[in-house]
A and B are shown apart, each in its own frame.
Chain A
Amino acid sequence: MSQPFYVAPEQVMKDRADYARKGIARGRSLIGGTYADGVVICAENTSNTLRKVSEIYDRIGFAGVGKYNEFDQLRIAGIRHADLKGFNYSRADVDARSLANQYANMLGQVFTHEMKPMEVEILVAEIDEEEAARDQLFQVLYDGSVTDHTDYVVLGGDSDAIRERLAAKWKPGAALSAVLQLLVSSLAGEERQLEAADLEVAVLERGDHRRCFRRIEGDELSGLL
């Protein structure tokens, strides 16, 4: 029996990371940002039915870039995790931090142990019932690394350039329309113009309602832009 070739672990990890990054770079990017009444997530997505942004729980939203079937699996696993936790304990006990950690475990496990890493980057956003300062954005990468943000977060292949454009003009605590216009122009860049039909937008909105997630579509979206 022949011995397999020795490959240094550094090389294995690097190859996997390159593979995942290449997959993610093929898709279009998205941005999550805080505004006065909550969090807005804006994705470049021409499909009306295959969603990148969706609801996980009362105050928690999800967004993914990369390979659709992979982040959709993660989305469903997140809904299951949240609904089971709320059923077992209380709705107040479901939080984004624990969900982001679960995602990190899952992605880290797949990255190191399975044939192929998941080609995804995900965002878990949570708003606080009262205080805008406590809104949270967690970014989880393909290898399971987690970072948390309080202002904005950019996911996807072109993220560095988009982040640069966004950082130059970012003002915290602005109104929805102002933030959304900034997100859209940052996504588009200088040469392009993004229309309402090219976008998928949703907000987590503070208010009296239990379920804070709401899609912004059609005339409402055109109006805000």
Chain B
Amino acid sequence: MTSLRFDPTDDPGPDFAGLLRKAGLEPPVPNGDVSASLDIPHGTTCVSLRYADGVVIAGDRRATSGNIISHRSIQKVFAADRHSGVAIAGAAGPAIEMVKLFQLQLEHYEKVEGSSLSLDGKANQLSQMLRNNLPMAMQGMAVVPIFAGYDFAADKGRLFQFDVTGGRYEELDYTATGSGSLHAGTVIKISFIDEMDRDQAVNLAIEALFQAADSDSATGLPDLIRGVYPVVATITADGFDRVEDAELEDKTRHLIDKFTNRGGRDGGNSLSTDGGPQA
């Protein structure tokens, strides 16, 4: 630990990533395109949307390596700290490592400084981590997260979308990432209404992931046989709260019943509901 005291001009302060660099623990950047030569697992679709009390953040449970389903119950949605969450799509290894580092960074800052970062500060941190990951992204190990949290300064939920270069874009109502993001985003776009309640928002997130899985092979459907449901969490002034599997099962069965009763049995393409989020 003697080496963890630094000269004032050389001190990493509350920056955990900076500390890792000083301790020589930064991972090396590989040479050549890793994803072309190795089938590393990729995580896919995540969504986030704003509702009356905050935000809902959700992701499916599938990871794929090329054509193979490599994991059926991978977790892509994580609490970043008490009042924010992060969802990731992209190369699973570096993505989960990035989340771990991000969680630690927020906690490390909070402990060293004695106060937590602002929501913008947290989003900016994630942005910088992505920019540092750019060499890895160029080797085929891209990570594209969503960051959502409750902002006490603005008294509302806020959500941010990112790109591999560290670009950070705040979205007003909803955002989606990963291979099924186009389908999932469209479902939310059509059904989104302002100031939804919790049930409506959670149902809409489940439906968006369901529709994405129905059209995108890399996104997993809720698995009623194995009891594997998407990870869905709400983030409000009370904190990050993961929705229980029992509730998700209930809501998923309800959604499937709706689809079954309204056609789709005749071999057509549509899975229609009456439009608009269900209460």
Which A residues fall within an 8 A CB radius of B?
A: 51, 54-56, 73, 76-81, 83-84, 86-88, 102-103, 105-106, 109, 211
Contacts and interface: CB of A to CB of B under 8 A. Distances in A.
Contacts of B25: 84, 87-88
B111 interface: yes
26 contacts: A51-B114, A54-B111, A54-B114, A56-B111, A73-B5, A77-B4, A77-B5, A79-B108, A79-B111, A79-B112, A80-B1, A83-B19, A83-B107, A83-B108, A83-B111, A84-B23, A87-B20, A87-B25, A87-B100, A88-B25, A102-B1, A103-B1, A105-B1, A105-B2, A106-B2, A109-B2
A87 B5 CA distance: 18
Interface of B: 1-2, 4-5, 16, 19-20, 23, 25, 100-101, 104, 107-108, 111-112, 114
A81 B108 contact: no
A209 to B, nearest CB: 10
A211 B110 CA distance: 12
Contacts of A83: 16, 19, 104, 107-108, 111
A83 B4 CA distance: 11
Nearest to B11: A76
Contact of B19 (A55, A78, A80, A211): A80
A84 B107 CA distance: 12
A81 B1 contact: yes
A56 B100 CA distance: 18
Nearest to A87: B104
Given A83-B16, A105-B1, 7 more contacts: A73-B5, A76-B112, A77-B1, A80-B19, A87-B25, A109-B2, A211-B107
Contacts of A105: 1-2
A125 B144 CA distance: 40
Contacts of B2: 105-106, 109
Interface of A is mostly: helix
A55 B111 contact: yes
B85 to A, nearest CB: 15
Highest count of chain B CB atoms <10 Å: which of A80, A81, A102, A211? A80
Nearest to B105: A83
B238 to A, nearest CB: 14
Contacts of B1: 77-78, 80-81, 102-103, 105-106
A15 to B, nearest CB: 24
Contacts of B112: 76, 79
Contacts of B104: 83, 86-87
A118 to B, nearest CB: 11
Contacts of A103: 1
A84 B1 CA distance: 10
Contacts of B100: 87
A151 B108 CA distance: 30
A56 B111 CA distance: 7
B189 to A, nearest CB: 37
A50 B16 CA distance: 22
Contacts of B16: 83
A50 to B, nearest CB: 10
B104 to A, nearest CB: 6
A142 to B, nearest CB: 16
Contacts of B101: 87
Contacts of A56: 111
Nearest to A81: B1
Nearest to A85: B1
Contacts of B5: 73, 77, 106
A96 to B, nearest CB: 13
Nearest to A215: B114
Nearest to B114: A51
Contacts of A51: 114
A88 B16 CA distance: 13
A73 B2 CA distance: 11
Contacts of A109: 2
B111 A81 contact: no
B94 to A, nearest CB: 15
A54 B20 CA distance: 22
Contacts of A87: 20, 25, 100-101, 104
Nearest to B23: A84
A171 B16 CA distance: 41
A9 to B, nearest CB: 23
